[in-house]
Chains A and B, each alone.
Chain A
């Protein structure tokens, strides 16, 4: 094997500590010294913005907070920006959870959203109903007759004491103006699309992590009106809505992480091609 083969082999077999170390260094550096790259906004994010922006005061935004703590870094910033945007318009929020852990994340989410700063009162302007087991049949129940399924909220307050719940009759879907699903699982979104967008023709938006977006695209933009594409989409939404938050800060970090992966992908392939050349 010639000289090219030697270099090629080296490029193909760079030590693990090198690229793990470089990822840590690159992301650490950009955290301390952010570069503030501009954030171009995709159509998918613009459609989500338009769906939230069109809501009128008193409209009901039904939310499934279906993510767990592992994906919190990119789910929560998008949710904070969209909630704050919705609250600026005086939209009422009904929050349920299709993931077991999610109800315990609502507290820290609302600490960041600060509903009281928009004059929101719990029970009247927003409610948190906790976790529901059962997957797609449970989504059907919630949209069919929410008061038939839910008797108390997450804090175990009877729903009869929550004025917002009295506004939601049967079929509940008729009272809902927008459905938003936050989840790391594409099958959850598909279930909600079938029950909310197909059956009741409700306006539907979602945020999923980047790798799950292709599973939602078959429904976009006919059944799914807009998609927030993970952390990048959340940064786009923050930029668009003017509610700058954690996603914009994270976007530089995501760029640097991606850059290191890209460089090593290219180096590995250059090495592979050089080795092949050496053999031939």
Chain B
């Protein structure tokens, strides 16, 4: 079997067969076909889980090399961050494998490290948002003046204090969201959908081969 057959024709044939089955599974209610479709999508879930494990190994390799490089260049702060990352990766993996993902230790580590760090990082974005709103949203032109007015209405419409005493704010905010914004988003969504169909058909017909990597010989 030639290299071309192995690297191109077999993957393209598999893509075509799997794509046809999954597409048919969506439209046709036939038990054997639906069972086959479910088996293939289950296989996808297993593959993605495997890829996440592979990503962990990749991080390990990249940061091991980075530590070596930064040590030789004397960038000790970068070394510290890489060691911290790898240490956390190794400890989490070890606790998960040997003590179980639902063990008290695993849960304790999550509750006392991840939860406060992640919540703090997210909460801090409020300050950046406030800063950006103050410094960037300026009525420089007709378009940006509309943006300022809409921003004020939406912010006020999201605050119970204003909506209680000015009920029209909620009506205006909802109209903006459900008519103006939705119209724009629907147009984008339909465009993306049509693009997706086109890309799907091209992939099934082997006209898109970028996912195979490399270029045709």
Q: Show the binding face of A for B, using Cβ within 8 Å.
A: 14, 16, 19-20, 23, 35, 37-40, 42-43, 68-73, 101, 103-104, 107-108, 130, 132-135, 137-138, 140-141, 144-145, 148-149, 154-156, 170-171, 199, 210, 213-215, 217-218, 220, 229, 232, 235, 251, 254-255, 257-262, 264-269, 272-273
Judged by a CB distance under 8 angstroms, whether B34 is at the interface is yes
Stretch among B7-15, B62-70, B134-142, B201-209 lining the A interface: B134-142
A2 to chain B, nearest CB (A): 20
For residues 126 through 158 of chain B, which have their beta carbon under 8 Å from a beta carbon of chain A?
Answer: 126-127, 129-131, 133-135, 137-140, 148, 151-152, 155-156, 158
- Chain A residues, Cβ within 8 Å of B38: 140-141, 144-145, 148, 170
Would A69 and B114 count as touching, CB distance under 8 A? yes
Would A235 and B131 count as touching, CB distance under 8 A? no
Partner of B152, one of A68, A262, A272: A262
Would B185 and A265 count as touching, CB distance under 8 A? no
Can you list 20 A-B pairs with a CB-CB distance of less than 8 A?
Answer: A40-B160, A42-B174, A132-B45, A134-B44, A134-B45, A145-B38, A154-B102, A155-B102, A213-B177, A217-B185, A251-B160, A254-B159, A255-B161, A257-B126, A261-B129, A265-B148, A265-B151, A268-B137, A269-B137, A269-B148
- Chain B residues, Cβ within 8 Å of A68: 118
Q: Show the binding face of B for A, using Cβ within 8 Å.
A: 26, 34-35, 37-39, 41-42, 44-45, 47-49, 51-52, 100-102, 106-107, 110-111, 114-115, 118-119, 121-123, 126-127, 129-131, 133-135, 137-140, 148, 151-152, 155-156, 158-161, 163-164, 167, 170, 174, 177-178, 181-182, 185-186, 189
Would A261 and B133 count as touching, CB distance under 8 A? yes
B176 to chain A, nearest CB (A): 10
Bound complex: CA A217 to CA B187 (Å): 12
Would A268 and B138 count as touching, CB distance under 8 A? yes
Would B118 and A133 count as touching, CB distance under 8 A? no
- Chain A residues, Cβ within 8 Å of B155: 258, 261-262, 265
Bound complex: CA A40 to CA B111 (Å): 34
Would B174 and A141 count as touching, CB distance under 8 A? no
Would A71 and B181 count as touching, CB distance under 8 A? no
Would B130 and A23 count as touching, CB distance under 8 A? yes
B81 to chain A, nearest CB (A): 20
